Amino acid sequence: MHDETVTVLENRKVNAKYFKISFRSKHLASGVEPGQFVQIKVREGWDPFLRRPFSYYRIRGERIEILYEILGRGSELLSKLTKGDRLQVMGPLGRGFSREIRGKKRILVGGGVGVPPLVFLAERYGCDRFYIGTKSRHEVMPLSEIRKFHSRVFHTTQDGSYGVRGLVTGPLEVWFKKDDFDPEAYFIQTCGPTRMMERVMEIASHFGVEGEASWEERMACGVGVCLGCMVWTHYGWTCSCTEGPVFQFEETPPRETWAVR
């Protein structure tokens, strides 16, 4: 893990939802697996005090790209940076998605800010099918960003303006219900809003498909010190920043049972 000051190479809007920022670092780019993340200090000084976590989106040699959405003040400040600005970045952090999936075919299911690490995964290790859910066509990833595997992508939009209308789990369930679907042949890797991932896990459990989910909890330190990112697992409370963010489906019980621990 490294903590260094990098220089912004590019920071631009990709579509109505995402910005893309890139910088170069030999150390931050080495040995990274999809699903791992960096902690970015979006501005020099004490305000904002906490760094913000972002998944690796793409690595080309020593060039690193992060795809991000503006949610609050930190990401807003990040979006204001321009070429040549300096940025403090720590990484790679956490445990990413499994590369070896017992010889099974990879199904990816992503929504919201969970899509970037799955794009990285698909580009690096391939995928059989990639389900991406967005609110409307304005948020759909430009073809240039998913060129390598676009023919395997199934889009859903909540307003029906692109792809299938509805939630991303709809077409997944339709496919699983087909007579020739073999649950043993596939492995799901998912990242996105909690409700989406919980529904993916419910469907997977019903049909007997294995998989893993990236729980992008709110994080403060990112290195296992503050205990602000705990996830309830069958072996107890666990730091998602160090033991995750990726967990096997069977490791994490439904979230509504967490509060009573």
| Contact residues for ligand FAD, defined by CB under 6 A | 37, 52-55, 67-69, 71-75, 113, 116, 216-219, 245
The contact pattern for ligand FES, residues 225-244, with x = CB under 6 A and - = no contact, is: xxxxx---------x-x---
Q: Cα separation of 176 and 184, whole Å?
A: 11
Q: Cα separation of 92 and 1, whole Å?
A: 6
Which residue in 8, 14, 50, 220 binds ligand FES (CB under 6 A)? Answer: 220
Binding of ligand FES by 64 (CB under 6 A): no
Based on CB atoms, which residue is closest to ligand FES, 172 or 219? 219
Structure tokens at 172: 């997944």
Where helices occur in 144-225 by DSSP H, the ranges are 169-176, 194-207
Task: Provide the 8-state DSSP code for 223.
Answer: S
Nearest-approach distance from CB 189 to ligand FAD, in angstroms: 14
Q: Cα separation of 240 and 247, whole Å?
A: 9
Nearest-approach distance from CB 37 to ligand FAD, in angstroms: 4
Binding partner at 104 among ligand FES, ligand FAD, none, C-beta below 5 to 8 Å by kind? none
Size of the site for ligand FES (CB under 6 A): 12
Binding of ligand FES by 93 (CB under 6 A): no
In DSSP terms, which residues pair with 232 in a beta bridge? 237
Q: Cα separation of 141 and 29, whole Å?
A: 24
Binding partner at 225 among ligand FAD, ligand FES, none, C-beta below 5 to 8 Å by kind? ligand FES
What one-letter code names the amino acid at 132? I
Binding partner at 113 among ligand FAD, ligand FES, none, C-beta below 5 to 8 Å by kind? ligand FAD
**Considering only CA atoms, which of 183, 187, 173 is closest in space to residue 128?**
187
Nearest-approach distance from CB 179 to ligand FAD, in angstroms: 38
Nearest-approach distance from CB 71 to ligand FAD, in angstroms: 4
Q: For residue 173, what is the enclosing H or E element?
A: helix 169-176
Nearest-approach distance from CB 176 to ligand FES, in angstroms: 34
The answer to whether the CB of 190 falls within 8 A of the CB of 210 is no
Binding partner at 37 among ligand FAD, ligand FES, none, C-beta below 5 to 8 Å by kind? ligand FAD
How is the beta sheet containing 246-248 ordered, strand by strand?
A: 164-165, 153-157, 129-134, 105-111, 186-191, 210-214, 246-248
Please provide the distance, in angstroms rounded to a whole number, between the alpha carbons at the two ends of the chain.
Answer: 32
Binding partner at 226 among ligand FES, ligand FAD, none, C-beta below 5 to 8 Å by kind? ligand FES
Binding partner at 75 among ligand FAD, ligand FES, none, C-beta below 5 to 8 Å by kind? ligand FAD
Name the closest residue to ligand FAD (Cβ). Answer: 72
